[in-house]
Structure 1
Amino acid sequence: MTKEPFFRLNQEPEALSGFSRTVAEIEWLLLVLMLFYLVVGHTEESVKIFLLGGLCAFAGFVMAFHYFNFFTQANIWKLALETWVMILLITWFVWHTGRQDSLLLNLYFLPIITSALALGKLTTLLEVLLIGSCYLYLGKNDLAGGEFFSLSQSSVLLTWLFPMLLVGYITTMLSNDIYHAFSRIKTTAQTDELTNLYNRRAFMELLEKQLQQARRGGYTFSLLLGDCDNLKSVNDQYGHEAGNLLLQTIADNFRHCLRGCDTAARYGGDEFTVLLPETTVEAAERVAKRIKDTLVASSFNYRSNAITTDISIGIATYPQHGDTAEALLYHADQAMYANKRESKNQVAAQVAI
């Protein structure tokens, strides 16, 4: 478990919901602009009715994605699909309203800005390339077959695409700055400053998510709750600086003993918690024993004094020992203190609730 927590804004459920609402507003704005053009523009009645039918279909698409609950939650693929549909709609509408001479060509900026804000550089670049292909397609009837990729046409295309590339690049850079600032803020808020593990609040959020996934998937997971056996004596004998080094030693031990999918946290004071996805109680006991053995075998020097430590660990497994966060933590806590009372070199989960 060597990775540090890193948060992407467009992977946070609340942020995704916000992006989804913004995309819906942009889609309605796009729809209103096209309807306005049909009202004030010079378009043949037969074409106007045809375009109006397409806009009604697009309105149905937007309502299905945002108001009919076809999707239980927003996600990146949903946002990407919506931006691609916007590009296709704009191309279809522009084709019937003047092609490369249409007044609506600037509507392509809407999906570009949306993609740059929510989806990142690669998706935005792919969408710019798609828009460039659409632009060439819109003007193909005005070109001879051998001139489709001519130097003059390429120059026109690049001149037309440059503002979109510039807007997409600048918007993406700004969104990346926001992402990194958000990541630093959230990492600080959810990380224990001393040990650089998750703090209690972050761990409880992860535990609730693990419970939801386990209930849906029907699989098991285990929870370890550990308490340092000699922090108070180290603080009393050597001072709090040595005690802090002791806690950091325990945290480093977790990083070396756990899998990448496991999560360790400083639960408070000298207590630590570990979340072990898809782990039975027997496997959790082996993990706990490995943690204890590795910790007992290690030591650190403080002012020429070799300091060692041990940890008492209690285990709780879902659903065997409870189906809520409170029940699992209570069972692990009882098991931990039973171990501490009986012997400071035991691991167990068999404690009555």
Structure 2
Amino acid sequence: MRVAASTGSATQGFIAKALLGLELLALAIGVLQFAFATATVQHPLLAGGALALLGCSILLVRMIPALQRPQARQHWLSIATSIVFVTLMAVATGAAHSALVTLYLLPLATVALAFGRWWLVALVALVIAALGILLGALTPATNVWGAQFAVLLFSKLLPGVAVALILGALIEQMQSAVQRISDMAASDQLTGLLNLRAFEDVLQQEHRKAERFGRPYTLLMIDIDNLAHVNEALGHDAGSQVIVSVAAAIGRSIRASDVAARVGGDDFVVLLTEADEATGGMIAQRIRNNIYASTISVANRLIRANASVGVANFPRDHLYPKELMILADQRMQQDRELRKQPG
């Protein structure tokens, strides 16, 4: 979880800087066109309005909190403003014949960077193509349905669309790879459950929510009985099968909102969100029953696992997560000793 959080934070920081850079680049090109290529600016007021629109958007989107969350809203506002800016500047500097039409690459690149979805780039490209036809309609002596205009439109827009599509597909693959790495870093390879490090992050988050909203939660510590004996008698492959079977039984026993992790060779921990002591005890017994009901066939022998379970509840037992885990572990050991006693 720490890997995922730090990677996601770094990625979002890079994307924010990159998008700001693209917007500033568009603004700088527009200012240079307006200031030093005055002969090409046929409608100065329109060009000035476009520059003011983009400049205000860059400032306001980053100053007003309501425009920043969720981040997708901020990105789409920036994309829409950039498209309007390029369209207005193109109209002011020659419409379809304007050199600034190629700036449509910038909002397309923004879509690719912000969302990493090639099909979103394609959808925005269709909108830009429609605007290109509109620019053609505003250009004197231009037949927007003729072959000459189609060649002009493709030559100005298609390279940028192709680059943005490739960029979107590449970023999508990179995001998938990062997610897989994050999942591997947070998961136990044998069972697919969370590992201890990732579980502790989840527990801290749940504890903060429980404190803030006054909600209970319960921790269960689970230990497989006599796993060492299985390893000695039947081999470590059989022991691994028992561990996988127990993990599956735990998964069947808990709710979708609960979180399970493997924290050692034969130890598991479960976080039962918004669960009081009675609910925790009921789920603990369900886990015991499901583990015992699961049988594993190894070398023509049926193995039936047993487990010891300890239960600790917040806020009834302790106020801190580590204390709860220690208490649940102690109660799990007590549960094992009690079941060893005859009668």
Query: Is the structural similarity TM-score above 0.5?
Result: yes
The amino acid across from 1:63 in the alignment is: L
The amino acid across from 2:332 in the alignment is: M
Does structure 1 conserve the Cα–Cα contact (< 8 Å) formed by 2:250 and 2:291? no
1:31 is aligned to 27
Note closer, same or farther for the CA distance 1:57–1:144 as it changes in structure 2 (3 Å cut). closer
Does structure 2 conserve the Cα–Cα contact (< 8 Å) formed by 1:64 and 1:70? no
Note closer, same or farther for the CA distance 1:159–1:344 as it changes in structure 2 (3 Å cut). farther
Note closer, same or farther for the CA distance 1:186–1:226 as it changes in structure 2 (3 Å cut). same
Residue by residue over 1:197-243, the C-alpha shift from the partner in whole angstroms, topping out at 9 and shown as x without a partner, is 22112222222333344455554443322121222222233332322
Measure how far apart 1:266 and its partner are: 0.8
**Aligned pairs for 1:92-131 within 5 A:** 92-119=88-115, 120-131=117-128
Does structure 2 conserve the Cα–Cα contact (< 8 Å) formed by 1:16 and 1:75? no
| CA distance in structure 2 between the aligned counterparts of 1:225 and 1:46, rounded to whole angstroms | 75
Which of 48, 62, 71 is the aligned partner of 2:58?
62
| CA distance in structure 1 between the aligned counterparts of 2:190 and 2:297, rounded to whole angstroms | 18
Measure how far apart 1:169 and its partner are: 2.2
Measure how far apart 1:257 and its partner are: 2.7
| CA distance in structure 2 between the aligned counterparts of 1:84 and 1:267, rounded to whole angstroms | 48
The amino acid across from 1:136 in the alignment is: I
2:288 is aligned to 292
**Aligned pairs for 1:1-353 within 5 A:** 12-42=8-38, 48=44, 51-52=47-48, 54-66=50-62, 75-119=71-115, 120-142=117-139, 157-158=153-154, 160-215=156-211, 219-322=215-318, 324-343=320-339
Does structure 1 conserve the Cα–Cα contact (< 8 Å) formed by 2:108 and 2:125? yes
Does structure 1 conserve the Cα–Cα contact (< 8 Å) formed by 2:218 and 2:313? yes
Residue by residue over 1:75-129, the C-alpha shift from the partner in whole angstroms, topping out at 9 and shown as x without a partner, is 3343233222222222222222222122211111112122123311232222112
| CA distance in structure 2 between the aligned counterparts of 1:93 and 1:216, rounded to whole angstroms | 51
The amino acid across from 1:205 in the alignment is: D
1:350 is aligned to none
Gaps of 5+ in 2: none
Measure how far apart 1:16 and its partner are: 2.2
The amino acid across from 2:136 in the alignment is: G
| CA distance in structure 1 between the aligned counterparts of 2:191 and 2:29, rounded to whole angstroms | 54
Q: So what's the TM-score if we normalise by structure 2?
A: 0.83
The amino acid across from 1:334 in the alignment is: Q
Measure how far apart 1:26 and its partner are: 1.9
Does structure 2 conserve the Cα–Cα contact (< 8 Å) formed by 1:17 and 1:74? no
| CA distance in structure 2 between the aligned counterparts of 1:168 and 1:28, rounded to whole angstroms | 18
Measure how far apart 1:58 and its partner are: 3.0
Note closer, same or farther for the CA distance 1:314–1:31 as it changes in structure 2 (3 Å cut). farther
Note closer, same or farther for the CA distance 1:201–1:32 as it changes in structure 2 (3 Å cut). same
Note closer, same or farther for the CA distance 1:295–1:54 as it changes in structure 2 (3 Å cut). same
| CA distance in structure 2 between the aligned counterparts of 1:282 and 1:310, rounded to whole angstroms | 22
Measure how far apart 1:293 and its partner are: 0.4
| CA distance in structure 2 between the aligned counterparts of 1:318 and 1:150, rounded to whole angstroms | 73
Q: So what's the TM-score if we normalise by structure 1?
A: 0.81
The amino acid across from 2:130 in the alignment is: S
Note closer, same or farther for the CA distance 1:318–1:339 as it changes in structure 2 (3 Å cut). same
Does structure 2 conserve the Cα–Cα contact (< 8 Å) formed by 1:24 and 1:66? no
Greater length-normalized contact order (CA 8 Å, ≥ 6 residues apart): 1
Percent identity between the aligned chains? Answer: 27
| CA distance in structure 1 between the aligned counterparts of 2:61 and 2:318, rounded to whole angstroms | 37
SS in 1 for 2:38: coil
CA RMSD of aligned residues (A): 3.5
Residue by residue over 1:40-87, the C-alpha shift from the partner in whole angstroms, topping out at 9 and shown as x without a partner, is 121699954664455345334323434665577773343233222222
SS in 2 for 1:224: strand
| CA distance in structure 2 between the aligned counterparts of 1:344 and 1:22, rounded to whole angstroms | 63
| CA distance in structure 2 between the aligned counterparts of 1:331 and 1:64, rounded to whole angstroms | 52
The amino acid across from 2:266 in the alignment is: D
| Count, aligned residues | 339
SS in 1 for 2:221: strand
| CA distance in structure 2 between the aligned counterparts of 1:237 and 1:164, rounded to whole angstroms | 66
More helix by share: 2
SS in 1 for 2:272: strand
